[in-house]
Copies of this chain bind each other. A is one copy, B any other.
Amino acid sequence: MRKYIIEARELVYQYPDGTNALNGLTMQIKEGQKVAVLGANGAGKSTLFLHFNGILRPRQGQILFDGRSMDYRHRSLVELRKNVAIVFQDPDHQLFSASVLQDVAFGPLNLGLDKNVALAKAREAMRQTEIDTLSSKPTHFLSYGQKKRVSIAGVLAMEPRVIIFDEPTACLDPRMVDKTMDLLHRLNKQGKTLVMSTHDVDLAYSWADYIYFINGGQVAGEGTPREVFLNRELLAGCGLKQPWVLEVYRELIDSGLLATTAPMPDSKETLLELIRNASPGAAGVKIRVAQ
């Protein structure tokens, strides 16, 4: 079994104004996994993420990285932030410099790397996110999608082991969503652990290895996508819907158009394939058998 790279144990966090943001939240993330965190606006996802790299410190409970409990000393914080990076939702909150190169190289330079090494890492990150051509453009001339990619590059350049994406696809057009998800797949292939919050159940269903539902600062449910998304009560409780792939699949099974033995599809493509394979001939045979 793979070990947990990040664990949150019974986190309790209160905002300065007294409202509870996290109420004893416990979460375990395995190395190399793709984890989706779903929940309504204000459920506590962003607050949780800020705990994962030590920006916020829990009132109670603890964060473990690589099995070691965080002690919030300067050295541990640097170590944690080097390994767990966050891509914030609004790139305007993250990009502080008008020079794209300067912004991407910010992290590596903070790690105390030599200038040339930092520059090389920045360039590699910009290549991966396909923004090499933007290097001489100032941040304020970039489109939203480009800013988003710069903010991802700035995080990649630090070569963290875990990358947390806060709604990476919000406000992007479909083409940019595809590009972003491609990038996420590639990063995961390279061995990086990815955590993503999203409102898009369809996206989460076909992307994630493991899913957490957050509601009211607590984990309301967890499991593999096929497990959790079958639990309609849980979904309704969290204000979420079933992915349409599952809904169509169930309807097809219920109405008998698909055999009950048909495997649960994990994406649009596999569903369409299931349908294609259940062509009239095949369906006809099954019906005769059934009768």
A residues lining the B interface (CB < 8 Å): 39-42, 89, 143-145, 167, 170-177, 199, 201, 239-241, 244, 247-248, 251-252, 254-257, 268, 271-272, 275-280, 283-284, 287, 290-291
Contact = CB atoms under 8 A, between A and B. Distances in A.
A144 to B, nearest CB: 5
A139 to B, nearest CB: 16
B287 A144 contact: no
Nearest to A258: B257
A201 to B, nearest CB: 7
Contact of A280 (B41, B175, B271, B287): B287
A170 B252 CA distance: 31
B287 A268 contact: no
A174 B145 contact: no
Contacts of A144: 41-42
A272 B284 contact: no
A170 B170 contact: yes
A248 B247 CA distance: 12
B248 A276 contact: no
A41 B172 contact: yes
Contact of A279 (B201, B255, B272, B278): B255
A199 B176 CA distance: 11
B280 A256 contact: yes
Nearest to A282: B255
A40 B175 contact: yes
Contacts of A276: 251, 254-255
Contact of A170 (B171, B240, B255, B268): B171
Nearest to A176: B41
26 contacts: A40-B174, A40-B175, A41-B171, A41-B172, A42-B144, A89-B171, A171-B171, A174-B199, A174-B239, A175-B239, A177-B199, A244-B268, A248-B248, A248-B271, A248-B272, A251-B276, A255-B275, A255-B277, A255-B279, A256-B280, A257-B275, A280-B287, A283-B283, A284-B284, A284-B287, A284-B291
Given A255-B276, A255-B277, A257-B275, 10 more contacts: A41-B171, A170-B170, A248-B248, A251-B272, A251-B276, A255-B275, A257-B257, A257-B283, A283-B283, A284-B284
A246 B87 CA distance: 34
B290 A280 contact: yes
* Residue from A167, A256, A278, A290 having most chain B Cβ neighbours under 10 A: A256
Contact of A287 (B175, B241, B251, B283): B283
